[in-house]
Amino acid sequence: MSTARKHLFLNYKGGTGKTSISAAYGYCLAMAGKKVLMVDLDAQAHLTACLSGESAGRDKSLYSVIAGGARLSDIIVPTSLSNLKLVSSSTSLSALEMPLFRMSLREFRLRKALKAVEREYDYIVIDSAPSIGLLSLNAILASDEILIPMLADFLSFNGLKVLMETLASIERDFSFYLGKIHIFLNRYNHAYSICKECLEATRKFYPQYTLKTVISESQEVMDASSLGKSVFELYPDSGIAEDIKSLVREVNPAPSVTQKFSVAEKVRLAFLNKIEGVKK
């Protein structure tokens, strides 16, 4: 039986579209018939609001799974699509960093928690908080692929440089290959020359990572976020819905969906399995 591909939306900068685009990305995969579990790792619980309409998540969150030994399956909640489920967040998650610090194999707690359910899904899509910390590191080490939404401006480009250096140092410190990295521009406006310049710079400096897909600036995304609905529910024929479909297609070309692993991927998985072996 296959296990879920784990896709993490990551950027230490806030407001780049991690939550809005990951919600639409997961919804799009679910519309294509995939079984998808979304994981809200931000204590602000915006993904939870986007997908379940709940404003602050439930009492039980990943905190109780990672720190208290609760079962992940007990905190999964439904969404408007039957094959799209959600691990909701709550403010309690903000208190997790300190207890995590004292735990054994503290960087791999999320990976271990997800293992319990990963065979039930085709994809696990994680929305990270805009912060550098142990929980983000847990998310990075739990993921197969990392999607980095960025805005087209100088500060975001600078932030991307820092993020890529951090990912490279995580590869060195943990001696294993992080999965594929995909950078894409969000809130792209064709009328602004800064957007074009930023896209060109990103393609020049990170040619192997930058996606062809760009996500346009769109009023529909803001409407969907405020109404707690998906852009696919509200505006299925919009340009933004097409952009998200293009993102899903580009990140998931047919071979990766059929679970073929490269040699580097096999080395990475073997390393992680060894780590889990040490724990048992």
Ligand X SMILES: Nc1ncnc2c1ncn2[C@@H]1O[C@H](COP(=O)(O)OP(=O)(O)O)[C@@H](O)[C@H]1O
8 Å CB contact between 25 and 124: no
Give the footprint of Mg ion on residues 20-79 (CB under 5 A): 46
Span near ligand X by CB under 6 A; candidates 17-25, 177-185, 190-198, 262-270: 17-25
Using CB under 6 A as the binding rule, whether residue 7 contacts ligand X is answered as no
Interacting residue with Mg ion among 18, 34, 109, 111 (CB under 5 A): 18
Using CB under 5 A as the binding rule, whether residue 229 contacts Mg ion is answered as no
- Taking CA 120 as the corner, what is the angle to CA 115 and CA 122, rounded to the nearest 5 degrees? 95
Question: How many of the chain's residues bind ligand X (CB under 6 A)?
Answer: 17
Q: Which does 100 bind (CB under 5 to 8 A by kind): Mg ion, ligand X, none?
A: none
Token pair listed for 30 = 């679910």
Q: Give the distance between the most distant pair of CA atoms in the chain.
A: 56
Give the footprint of ligand X on residues 62-121 (CB under 6 A): none
Q: How many residues does the chain have?
A: 280
Nearer to ligand X, 75 or 129 (CB): 129
Interacting residue with ligand X among 52, 143, 213, 225 (CB under 6 A): 225
Using CB under 6 A as the binding rule, whether residue 15 contacts ligand X is answered as yes
8 Å CB contact between 266 and 179: no
> What are the residue ranges of helices labelled H in the chain?
18-31, 46-52, 62-66, 97-101, 109-115, 134-142, 154-173, 193-205, 219-227, 231-234, 239-251, 254-257, 263-279
Site of interaction with ligand X (CB under 6 A): 14-20, 46, 130, 186-187, 215, 217-218, 221-222, 225
